Amino acid sequence: MDIISCQEFTAICHDTETQTIKFGKTIQQPKVFEKNGDTIIKLFYPKKSRLSSDRIRPRAMRFYRNVNQLHQSGYTVPRVDKIQFCPELRMYLLYYPKIQGRDIRCLAKDGNLDVIRHVAHLLADLHEKGIFYRSIHLENLLYQPDGKIALLDVTDVKFKSAALSWYFRYRNIRHLFNEPLDKDLWQAFGISNFMKEYYQFAKLSPHSRFLLDYLVQQSGSVKK
């Protein structure tokens, strides 16, 4: 890990070869930079709360550990090759090569709803391997030229020693369906169609499927 000063951080932000591709809550808070068209710089700001777990387990380091574990499990994820820390600002910067592709949300909004089938298959595979991808939504999934899906924001991931229970699967699926920006896409594709695709790869008993279907239907987040 490299230690940088506040001045060095400011220089990174104003580098002519660096452009902001994602902001945080405000335009004054850049969240992701792209440098030279081939390098991504992800910024982790400190949590304001003194009781935040971020002080003990920094989110940047959780991201780093998660990408390594997900890579070992066979998934395409950002491969961090440099970490910087600015003590004055309590900020972390993670560098990794840009992954080629388009996020699923953009593709689906352009009319390619078929890519959502791949999301169902990916999610079922994650669940079978005991992986609870808490931040999953269509913008965090990148459809690559080879047809595979890369996982982008993997700060919040839990790894279980066995396949997820039907209840944890439901919590993850509900989070995916509840993203407001994707409501129209889920209505267009159909929740029932997504679940059919999911069950092709999910090894669940009839009873677990019944419970999962029931909760998904009762959630009422989007229409079937």
The full 3-state SS of 60-121, as one line of letters, equals HHHHHHHHHHHHHCCCECCCCCEEEEECCCCEEEEEEECCCCEEHHHHHHCCCCCHHHHHHH
The pLDDT value recorded for residue 223 is 47
CA 67 centroid distance within chain: 11
Residue 180, C-beta contacts closer than 8 angstroms, at least 6 positions apart:
none
Beta pairing, strands 82-86 & 149-151: unpaired
The pLDDT value recorded for residue 224 is 45
Whether residue 107 contacts residue 143, with contact meaning beta carbons closer than 8 Å, is answered with yes
Rounded Cα gap, residues 122 and 145, in angstroms: 16
Beta pairing, strands 149-151 & 157-159: unpaired
The pLDDT value recorded for residue 50 is 60
The pLDDT value recorded for residue 53 is 62
pLDDT tens figures, 101-118: 999 999 999 999 999 999
Q: How far is CA 134 from CA 27, 123, 224, in A?
A: 25, 11, 23
Residue 120 CB neighbours (<10 A): 22
pTM of the model: 0.88
Residues of the chain below pLDDT 70: 25-27, 49-55, 220-224
Select from 150, 122, 123 the least CA-distant residue to 40. 150
The pLDDT value recorded for residue 144 is 94
- Which ranges in the chain belong to alpha helices (H)? 6-13, 59-72, 104-109, 115-128, 166-177, 183-189, 191-199, 206-219
pLDDT tens figures, 42-78: 999 987 766 556 667 789 999 999 999 999 999 999 9
Whether residue 158 contacts residue 69, with contact meaning beta carbons closer than 8 Å, is answered with no
Domains, the chain, ordered by start: 2-97 (3.30.200), 102-217 (1.10.510.10)
- Report which DSSP code applies to 46: P
Helix (H) or strand (E) holding 29: none
